[in-house]
Amino acid sequence: MFSGVFARGDVADEVGDAAWLRALLDAEAALARAHARTGRVAPEHAEAIAAACVPEKFDASALGNAAEGAGNPVVPLVKELTRVVGGEAARHVHEGATSQDIMDTAAMLVCRRAGEVIRAESDAACARLASLSREHRATIMAGRTLLQQALPTTFGAAAAGWLDGLGTATQALNEVVESRTAVQLGGAAGTLASLGDDGPAVLAAYAVELGMPEPVLPWHTERGPVAELAGALARVCGAAGKVAGDIVLLAQTEIGEVTESGGAGVGGSSTLPHKRNPIAAVSAVACAEQAPGLAATLFACQIQQHQRAAGRWHAEWLPLADLLRTTGAAVAWLGTSLERLDAHPERMRANLDLTGGFPLAERVTTDLADELGRLPAHELVRDACQEAAGSGRALADVLAERLRGRRTRDQIDALLDPAGYVGSTGVFVERALSAHADRAARIGGRTSDNDEQE
């Protein structure tokens, strides 16, 4: 019922039942091959196990239903995998592992695969934000603080801020996914006792087989990797939600500085025929708003007992999958919103002009400060603003009277021109675009390196 909104994009395919089943089987296949790599299992037996680890041979729903007996789906999976493998090789299925080893490793595989989808969605959104930054670097608009007009800025600078926030959040997620999604292999109590002296070698081979980091030691009840993932995913949601939330505000009827274009029915209402809601941005916000609660649950699950948690490990599975899904959906919806986005520079300027120069009051104060002193200049301009607001007169007219002999009307008009008071927005746009280009180059280089390794 809700997947159209909350399972947007390709990430849903990487966190569903089929994705988890695939990851569990990949973990079991890699474990068998790790034993073969270290000489503990004959290569043909390992390959027989790996050949049986095909999702189509298993029923995810049946495994889920059978999980109630042991409290996790690995136990019935191992039983079924042993049956499918058969023969002498079946004796080596799941050798040396405990259920949590396979479940945690599968969870990290799911995070890595879903994380790649999220990165791709975010890269596309960032590319669009970079285009908006370039196109509108000189497009004047009102900067707003506490939802009120403050000083002039540019739409390019606003887009650059969005770009840097989402780009750096995605970069941080990438770093966590690449460096902290380690395999898990510790056996019954984190000692790998059943593998004798071969335990560390099998662990190292296991990590190599999966192309994942090798942990310093088993992390059964040290849930730092999950907590770091939760924080990084929530940060991406926050960055995406920030952009989408600003778009929703800028698209309000009374503001009208941006709109989402779309075909018939896009952004419509069940009651009001005229409505054209920025529904992609609204949906991105709806997805992003779920992240704090999901992340909080995963953070709370860090406090786990002894060498195997009673319930808190199990409590991670659904919120982790949901957080991956909602992060991917938030970024995908944001990308859709940015693809549809139309900016309206004329409306931006008109809104800025509504206040009759009030957002430039600081500039007038600064111009007078050397001559009058900072405080007297501030008080003079403040009183002029109050008079203009109370009388309905233009601020320029009031200032022309109060500054007669000090400033000409042309000088006052120039001071109240917002185009001349956007500060370092141009520099900041260039910095954001440069940082974006650097991130893209690093991702491109990493992709090339990975391609060569494969």
Please give the positions annotated as active site.
269, 308
CA distance 57 to 167: 40
CA distance 161 to 165: 6
Q: Give per-residue burial for 409-440: e unless 16+ CB within 10 Å, then b.
A: eeebeebbebeebbeebeebbeebbebbeebe
* Residue with the two structure tokens 């270290």: 38
Tokens of 330: 């938030």
Q: Please, which residues have CB within 8 angstroms of residue 359's CB and are 6 or more apart in sequence? A: 142, 143, 149, 150, 151, 152, 352, 418
Bin 277: left if φ > 0, else alpha if -120 < ψ < 50, else beta.
Answer: beta
Residues in the chain: 454
Q: Which residues pair with 149 in a beta bridge?
A: 144
Q: Please, which residues have CB within 8 angstroms of residue 421's CB and are 6 or more apart in sequence? A: 151, 152, 360, 363
Element of type H or E holding 101: helix 99-135
* CB contact at 8 A, 362 and 323: no
Bin 373: left if φ > 0, else alpha if -120 < ψ < 50, else beta.
Answer: left
> Angle, nearest 10°, between helix axes 291-300 and 224-250?
170
DSSP conformational letter for 188? T
- SS3 of residue 202 by DSSP: helix
CA distance 113 to 132: 29
Element of type H or E holding 259: strand 258-260
* CB contact at 8 A, 425 and 359: no
* CB contact at 8 A, 294 and 230: yes
Q: Please, which residues have CB within 8 angstroms of residue 1's CB and are 6 or more apart in sequence? A: none
